Amino acid sequence: MSQYEKVTPELLETLKAAVSGRVKTGADINADYSHDEMPIYGMATPEAVVEAHSTKEVAAVMKLCNEHHVPVTPRGAGTGLTGGAVAICGGVLLSTAKMNRILGYDEDNMMVTVQAGVLFSDLSADAEKHGFFYPPDPGEKFATLGGNASTNAGGMRAVKYGTTRDYVRAMTVVLPTGEVIHLGAPVSKSSSGYSLLHLMIGSEGTLGIITELTLKLLPMPKEIISLVVLYENLKDCISTVPKLMRANLHPQALEFMEHDIIKVSENYLGKKTFPQKYEGKDVGAYLLVSFEGEDDDQLTDIIEKASEVVLEAGALDVLVADTPQLKKDAWAARSTFLDAIDSSTKLVDECDVVVPVSKIPDYLTCVKEIAKDYDFSIQDFGHAGDGNLHIYCCSNDMEVQEFNRQVANFMRKAYAKATEMGGLISGEHGIGCGKLDYLEEMAGPVKMRLMRGIKKVFDPNGILNPGKVCCKL
């Protein structure tokens, strides 16, 4: 028997009163709300979708649901890749999508305060108009900033600027009980007790609902240039990375990709940007690197130094993406990997492990060896600068149950290998419900006990996003 209550007609009426009628049920619920971008982890339609406009409304909804023992799943844009925003226990899906106002800039302290439903793309563009730069750069630009903070989203600029965590100064949170708290402060240092702010970041909507965020901004970089570096194989490619990092050139992004995934992506885009051969040799791997500079002269200097480093380290050639179109094409090919895989594949599952940078080639060699025992194929790419790898299991002809069975078996081995090499099971996508079993295995009983203890303190009735991160159903 479920430990949760259903959304009764009476509760529905009180919920409607709390949010000026913005509640949908039954056939009025858009099918998109039943899944995120990885439906393979399970689809479920909530009993009600509640659209909140303010912290006050979120607090009222949480208070009601807590009193009635009804589960609540917070949802931003639903672009997550672990099933985190799916209402697997039914109940209420609480959408922050309409909490989309940029509340104001503190230009002197270089911060901005936003509602949690503001899209990453909207803040980026608006900050630029104000002469500021919001450095995190997750691949999916239409995710909400609340979702980014809840998953500690990373992205391609993490190698230079870190992840979302490094930009959250303060936040307003509604606890599962409906209490409202303010965490952090518009300051740049804190040694003021346990950091509840940092506990909330990456908690995937299991500890509280973030309603507002104060984010750190930086000055806009003046000039950016990208290089495409060609290698015969992945080992040469990755072995360049520490040398490039030690050269004091501070790349803004440093991505690696193998020949196969470039082919999939270029076929999807219908455009060829990455050379397949160099002086008769097959190109097996690429580094795509961006650098920032104050002016053309500084960029020229950086290009020269970077080229020297990579060529000495065994690169075949260096191409400078020195026109806006070339830069756009090179990054477009990288940015569409997931869409390209999705469009050409019936069944997809993925893992987003992170390993020490120097271990990338050995790890991928092991994973490819492990994958030989299974009927699906794999595609991989990743953030070379921070060791975060995206490995996709793909099949067009397997039955879904058999695919899931084989993938689970493969993932277990792949995660165990990552852990053995000093890595972790997720670098940026999170755990949701899709990776919970693996987290349990890799983290071990003591850490799981601590996580569940924390969950219990925040959410005594277990109504917020049940079945995610550390609490199995």
With CA atoms as reference, report the closest residue to 176 among 3, 277, 59, 328: 59
Which are the contacts of 51, defined by CB distance < 8 A and separation ≥ 6?
19, 22, 23, 24, 95, 97, 98
The residues that bridge with 293 in the sheet, in sequence order, are 223
* The 3-state secondary structure of 149-218, one letter per residue: HHHCCCECCHHHHCCHHHHEEEEEEECCCCCEEEEECCCCCCCCCCCHHHHHCCCCCCCCEEEEEEEECE
From the list 15-23, 77-85, 374-382, 442-450, the region that binds ligand FAD by CB under 6 A is: 77-85
User: How buried is residue 380: exposed, middle or buried, by Cβ count under 10 Å (0-12/13-18/19+)?
Assistant: buried
Residue 88 in the binding site for ligand FAD (CB under 6 A) = no
The CB-of-208 to ligand FAD minimum distance in angstroms stands at 7
Whether 85 contacts 140, CB under 8 Å: no
Residue 255 in the binding site for ligand FAD (CB under 6 A) = no
The CB-of-171 to ligand FAD minimum distance in angstroms stands at 9
- Binding ligand FAD (rule: CB under 6 A), the pick from 115, 395, 461, 465 is 465
Question: Binders of ligand FAD among 119-178, rule CB under 6 A?
Answer: 138-140, 143-144, 146-148, 150-151, 153-155
Residue 90 in the binding site for ligand FAD (CB under 6 A) = no
The CB-of-191 to ligand FAD minimum distance in angstroms stands at 26
The CB-of-309 to ligand FAD minimum distance in angstroms stands at 26
The CB-of-373 to ligand FAD minimum distance in angstroms stands at 29
State how far Cα 400 lies from the chain centre.
Answer: 25
Residue 428 in the binding site for ligand FAD (CB under 6 A) = yes
Residue 254 in the binding site for ligand FAD (CB under 6 A) = no
- The CA-atom distances, in angstroms, between 105 and each of 55, 131, 472 are 19, 11, 41
- The CA-atom distances, in angstroms, between 354 and each of 82, 363, 428, 433, 434 are 16, 10, 9, 19, 17
What is the C-alpha to C-alpha distance for residues 75 and 465, in angstroms, rounded to an integer? Answer: 10
From the list 76-84, 245-253, 408-416, 455-463, the region that binds ligand FAD by CB under 6 A is: 76-84
What is the C-alpha to C-alpha distance for residues 158 and 165, in angstroms, rounded to an integer? Answer: 11
**Nearer CB in complex with ligand FAD: 307/344:** 344
Say whether 376 sits in a helix, a strand or coil.
coil
Residue 55 in the binding site for ligand FAD (CB under 6 A) = no
- Binding ligand FAD (rule: CB under 6 A), the pick from 71, 84, 423, 466 is 84
Question: Binders of ligand FAD among 203-222, rule CB under 6 A?
Answer: 204-205, 209-210
The CB-of-36 to ligand FAD minimum distance in angstroms stands at 5
**Nearer CB in complex with ligand FAD: 88/315:** 88
Residue ranges binding ligand FAD (CB under 6 A): 36-37, 73-81, 84-85, 96, 116, 138-140, 143-144, 146-148, 150-151, 153-155, 204-205, 209-210, 338, 428-429, 432, 465, 468
